[in-house]
Amino acid sequence: MRQLTAVESRIRKARTTLLLDHPFFGTLLFRLAGKETSSVETMATDGVSLFFNPAFVDTLAASELVGVLAHEVLHPALQHHTRRGNRSPNRWNEACDYAINPLVLDAGLSLPKGVLVDKRFRGMSAERIYNLLDAEQNDKAGDKQSSRGSDDPVAPITVGGIGQVLDAPEPKFAEDKDIAEQARDWQIAVEQAQTLSKIAGKVPAGVERSLFAAAEANIDWRELLRRSWSEALPADYSWMRPNRRHLWRGLYLPGITRDGVGEIVVAVDCSGSVNARQLSLFEAEIRSILEGQRPERVHVLYFDTQVHKTDVYSYGEPICLTPAGGGGTDFRPCFHWVEEHQVPAQMVVFLTDLHGTLPEEEPDYPVIWASTGSLRASFGQVVPMRAA
pLDDT per residue as tens digits for the range 31-86:
999 999 999 999 999 999 999 999 999 999 999 999 999 999 999 999 999 988 88
| CATH number, residue 247 | 3.40.50
- Which one of 170, 190, 218 terminates a domain? 218
Any idea how long the chain is?
388
Residue 184 pLDDT > 90: no
pTM score of the predicted model: 0.62
Which among 188, 66, 185, 15 is positioned nearest to 196, based on CA atoms?
Answer: 188
Residue 51: the pLDDT is 95
Any idea which of 28-42, 85-99, 288-302 has the lowest mean pLDDT?
Answer: 288-302
User: Does residue 229 lie in a domain region?
Assistant: yes
pLDDT value at residue 197:
84
- pLDDT tens figures, 191-201: 888 888 888 77
Could you give the CA distance from residue 157 to residue 214 in angstroms, rounded to a whole number?
24
Which pLDDT does position 198 carry in this prediction? 82
pLDDT computed for residue 217 by the predictor: 55
- Does 1 fall in a domain? no
Question: Within this chain, do residues 62 and 198 fall inside the same structural domain, yes or no?
Answer: yes
Q: Are residues 256 and 364 in the same domain?
A: yes
Give the rounded percent of residues in the chain with a pLDDT score beyond 70. Answer: 81
Q: Which range of residues forms the domain containing residue 247?
A: 222-384
Amino acid at 161: G
pLDDT score recorded for residue 141: 41
Among candidate residues 28, 101, 385, 21, the one with its CA nearest the CA of residue 217: 385
| Same domain for 86 and 12 | yes
| pLDDT computed for residue 177 by the predictor | 87
Domain final position from 185, 218, 251: 218
Q: Which of 81-90, 288-297, 315-324 has the lowest mean pLDDT?
A: 288-297
**Which helix (DSSP H) or strand (DSSP E) does residue 74 occupy?**
helix 62-77
C-alpha of 86 from chain center = 15
- For residues 231 and 313, state if they share a domain: yes
Q: Domain for residue 283, yes or no?
A: yes
Position 34 in a domain: yes
What is the pLDDT averaged over residues 230-238? 58
Phi, then psi, of 43 in degrees rounded to 5 = -135, 165
**Total of domains in the chain:** 2
Round the average pLDDT of the chain to a whole number and report it. 82
Domain identity same for 211 and 231: no
276-285 mean pLDDT = 81
Both 68 and 23 in one domain: the answer is: yes
pLDDT-based confidence at residue 267 (cuts at 50, 70, 90): very high
- Among 24-33, 34-43, 213-222, where is mean pLDDT lowest? 213-222
CA distances from 5 to 16, 69, 101, 266, 287 (A): 17, 18, 28, 64, 61
Q: From 200, 218, 236, give the residue that closes a domain.
A: 218
pLDDT in tens, 126-155: 888 888 886 545 444 444 444 444 566 777
Whether 230 is in a domain gets the answer yes
Distance, CA of 23 to CA of 27 (rounded, Å): 6
- Could you tell me if residue 155 is inside a domain? yes
Span 109-126, pLDDT tens digits? 999 999 999 998 888 888
Residue 317 confidence class, pLDDT cut points 50, 70, 90: confident
Q: Are residues 200 and 226 in the same domain?
A: no
Residue with the bigger pLDDT between 235 and 20: it is: 20
Whether 189 and 333 share a structural domain? no
Tell whether 94 and 194 lie within a shared domain.
yes
Asked if residue 29 belongs to a domain, the reply is: yes
Tell me, yes or no, whether 252 and 364 share the same domain: yes
Picking from 11, 17, 53, the residue whose alpha carbon sits closest to that of residue 32 is: 11
Same-domain status, 236 and 168:
no
User: 34 and 183 share a domain?
Assistant: yes
